[in-house]
Amino acid sequence: MKDTTKHKGLRNKLVDILIAQGIESKKVLDAIRSIPRHFFLDSSFEHLAYQNNAFPIGNDQTISQPFTVAFQTELLNIQPGDKILEIGTGSGYQAAVLCKMGAEVFSIERHAPLMRKAQLLLQKLNLRVKTKFGDGYKGWPEQAPFDKMIVTCGAPIVPDELMKQLKIGGIMVIPVGEDVQTMKCIIKKDEDKIEIIDFGDFRFVPMLKNKAK
Ligand code: SAH
């Protein structure tokens, strides 16, 4: 695995595209500039890694489009030391971006082979993300509460268990819907009070229930 000046040049171009699409956070853009996305794709897609597209990563899953990663990460307003729960580790790319920004990242994946592959790669890159094989609907109670949560699969509903494991004042960024999802930024104001802001339509692979395999 090599990260060449050509790869770095392609990343700079990708960042220019993200800026043109409205991403403003320098911290988010810097993280995307520094993480070699081509490491997270199969070698047959390596030459396409810096296009602003989603790609297959095996097990019928996809690595999210860079714009989507940047958009969700910007909404999370990451501060160093934030304890974050990600649902849907997939390739590990989104977790890598969060980790690079100084967050303490916990990530759950329901496909064991994807989880293991992502964990190995993150270790190689010296990014300390804690991964778990399991059902994201249940969250990670042993590590709760979390400052922030990011769901990277399309959720039919906002899972109760996740809301419970979010700190008061915490933020959850979650795409909600069946075929098309609305990106929602949910702020937990109090145990029984939330504020929801909608941010347009996205398409994710579905968040599946009770089927960890
Ligand atoms: N964040 C990933 C995107 C992966 S796509 C990346 O950067 O590459 C979404 C992932 O969510 C898939 O890998 C899928 O297997 C996983 N997923 C779907 N339902 C889930 C659930 N209930 N619990 C945990 N992971 C789930």
Which residues, other chains included, contact 10 with Cβ-Cβ below 8 Å and sequence gap of 6+?
49, 50
Identify whether the C-beta of residue 176 lies closer than 8 Å to the C-beta of residue 206: no
The rounded distance, in Å, linking the Cα atoms of 57 and 62 is 5
Q: Can 64 be counted among the known catalytic residues?
A: yes
Ligand 1 proximal residues by C-beta, below 6 Å: 61-64, 87-88, 90-91, 93-94, 108-111, 114, 135-137, 152-153, 205, 207-208
Measuring CA to CA, which residue among 16, 15, 65, 19 is closest to residue 183? 65
pLDDT by residue for the chain (213 residues), tens only, comes to: 899 999 999 999 999 999 999 999 999 999 999 999 999 998 888 888 998 888 888 888 888 999 999 999 999 999 999 999 999 999 999 999 999 999 999 999 999 999 999 999 999 999 999 999 999 999 999 999 999 999 999 999 999 999 999 999 999 999 999 999 999 999 999 999 999 999 999 999 999 986 555
The rounded distance, in Å, linking the Cα atoms of 86 and 64 is 13
User: Considering 25, 43, 44, 64, which one is annotated as catalytic?
Assistant: 64
Identify whether the C-beta of residue 35 lies closer than 8 Å to the C-beta of residue 96: yes
Identify whether the C-beta of residue 95 lies closer than 8 Å to the C-beta of residue 107: yes
The CA 152 to ligand 1 mean position distance, Å, reads 6
Identify whether the C-beta of residue 117 lies closer than 8 Å to the C-beta of residue 89: no
State the CATH class of domain 5-202: alpha beta
Burial of 87 (0-12, 13-18, 19+ CB in 10 A): buried
pTM of the model: 0.96
Residue 12 phi/psi, 5° resolution? -60, -40
